[in-house]
Structure 1
Amino acid sequence: MNYGEFAYIYDFLMRDVPYDKWLEFFFEKLKKYDVHGKKVMDLACGTGELSVRLAKTGFQVTGVDLSDDMLMVASEKASKEGLHLNLFQQNMCELEELGLYDVILVFCDSLNYLSSPKEVQETFKRIYSHLNEKGLFLFDVHTIYKMEQIFSNQTFTEIEDGVSYIWNSFEGEHPYSVEHELTFFVLDDHTDQYTRFDELHKQRTYKETDYTSWLEMAGFEILEVTADFSTLKPNDTSERIFFVCRKK
């Protein structure tokens, strides 16, 4: 999927996303599992918001994303902060030849953009091959509850001076999947007119037992499975599941 123009308003749309909570989760797990290495891969890094924050704290960060547009924004953001990020355009299920890392993270439900069980399984294998011995793999995914009860057949809107959008979500073609139809109206500062563009985003999730099975098949030791930035186990109304895994 190419985010195109979406990349340039992504940070505006994500301004209320709890990046600080993901960072807190990251640091807690490094401390808990005694990881001292500084090499981190931020997989599906988007516009580099987490990558930049990690680099500011002294980590050697490699950002990987499918979208060149997202990576351009990430590069600009890092440059403004006087930081260096290694940035690569790759599909996460075709990840290759990027070296070894102490931690690989895939946050903000990015794994839900993979379209099939095969792609998820292949991604887990590729991540495993890029980790140092006892390296950590941290990620989160949407729950089935969120797909079916919160996203499916819902409409979300927002009107701002510079950007407005209509976001329609409906049931996808696969079990536990949704399709997001997004229509944006973005103000052009040069013409003082709004430009419309449209995006279609597809997300899919699976049962918790499927994820754990695929992780074990890839060789991971599953250290924790929790929900919604807490230490609690997922329940029937959890919206986001977090996995902490270690390379054996």
Structure 2
Amino acid sequence: MTQPVEPFTDFAPYYDSFMLKCVDYEGWVKYIEKIFKQFKFKPKTILDLACGTGIPTILLAKRGYQMIGVDRAKAMLEILKKKSKGYNIITYEADIRDFTLPEPADACICLYDSINYLLTEEDLEQCFKCVRRGVKKGGLFIFDMNTIYGLKVFWGNRESVREAGNVNSVWHNTYDETTAISTLYLTCQVKDENRTFLEIHKERAYDLPLIQKLLFDCGFSLVNFYHHGTFIPPTPFSVRVMVVAK
């Protein structure tokens, strides 16, 4: 049996190839800018929390923002550093639950269900406190989350096969209703290296009132929830929500 490796290590070199096939990053960035416009907010510096290989980080840098990327996955950050030469991007290798910036940013984003990787309320609280310190007063904290419906029903217990370049992969999801945790067993076969590796990723879904309470407890004074991609409230069937805190 293949022994699992740390998430976002062996998969890091292939992350962009797979994700660019299924995620409309341009659309995500346009939505972020619509949120700025909706709140009459014009940031200059943006903290991208759990930035990974920095696909949206670079897209925003191209739009003129000064970007700060924070991620604990060294392999992912190394890829971002190689891609970001010539852009106004600073990176820090740090856990999103425990980081400090030299100076606070105007806004913070945390995209593609990275917050769901925090598996306890204590983890969320630590992250939110760091963001509160890392963003200027009056700044925005924008992040998305997979909902309970999204992890339980949309992802649920299913398996899919995907291919990108020289890598075949199997994505096997399971959902535990008692913990609200979805576990992804990601098995990849690198064909030209005759090598197989396994990464195990866990995400937890949270009730939105709890998220609101924790944000208020950590010093945010305004919290809005939207059905992702819109400015309408989420429904019981929303797979993903966008959270905007101030």
Match among 10, 14, 21 for residue 15 of structure 2 = 10
- 1:37 to 1:232, Cα distance in 2 relative to 1, 3 A: closer
Q: Hey, what does 1:132 align to over in structure 2?
A: 136
Q: Quote the Cα distance in structure 2 between the aligned partners of 1:96 and 1:173.
A: 35
Q: Hey, what does 1:29 align to over in structure 2?
A: 35
Asked if the contact 2:17/2:164 (under 8 Å) is kept, the reply is no
Q: Quote the Cα distance in structure 2 between the aligned partners of 1:243 and 1:165.
A: 31
Asked if the contact 2:173/2:183 (under 8 Å) is kept, the reply is yes
Q: Hey, what does 2:173 align to over in structure 1?
A: 169
Q: Quote the Cα distance in structure 2 between the aligned partners of 1:142 and 1:160.
A: 24
Q: Hey, what does 1:54 align to over in structure 2?
A: 60
Q: Hey, what does 2:214 align to over in structure 1?
A: 214
Q: Hey, what does 2:242 align to over in structure 1?
A: 242
Q: Quote the Cα distance in structure 2 between the aligned partners of 1:112 and 1:12.
A: 22
Amino acid at match of 1:11: D
Unaligned runs of 5+ in 2: 1-5
Q: TM-score, normalised by structure 1?
A: 0.92
* 1:144-172 deviation line (CA, Å, top 9, x unaligned): 00111122211111245511111111124
Deviation at 1:216, TM superposition (A): 0.8
Alignment of structure 1 residues 187-202 onto 2, 5 Å = 187-188=191-192, 193-202=193-202
Q: Quote the Cα distance in structure 2 between the aligned partners of 1:62 and 1:203.
A: 24
Whether 1:148 aligns to 2:140 is no
Unaligned runs of 5+ in 1: none
Q: Hey, what does 1:100 align to over in structure 2?
A: 104
Amino acid at match of 2:61: A
Q: Quote the Cα distance in structure 2 between the aligned partners of 1:98 and 1:143.
A: 33
Deviation at 1:98, TM superposition (A): 3.7
Which is further off, 174-183 or 130-139?
Answer: 174-183
Asked if the contact 2:212/2:223 (under 8 Å) is kept, the reply is no
Amino acid at match of 1:169: N
Deviation at 1:49, TM superposition (A): 0.5
Match among 34, 44, 48 for residue 42 of structure 1 = 48
Give the RMSD, CA atoms, in angstroms. 1.6
Indicate the SS of the match to 1:238: coil
Q: Quote the Cα distance in structure 1 between the aligned partners of 2:208 and 2:72.
A: 25
Q: TM-score, normalised by structure 2?
A: 0.92
Deviation at 1:88, TM superposition (A): 0.6
Deviation at 1:58, TM superposition (A): 1.0
Indicate the SS of the match to 2:75: helix
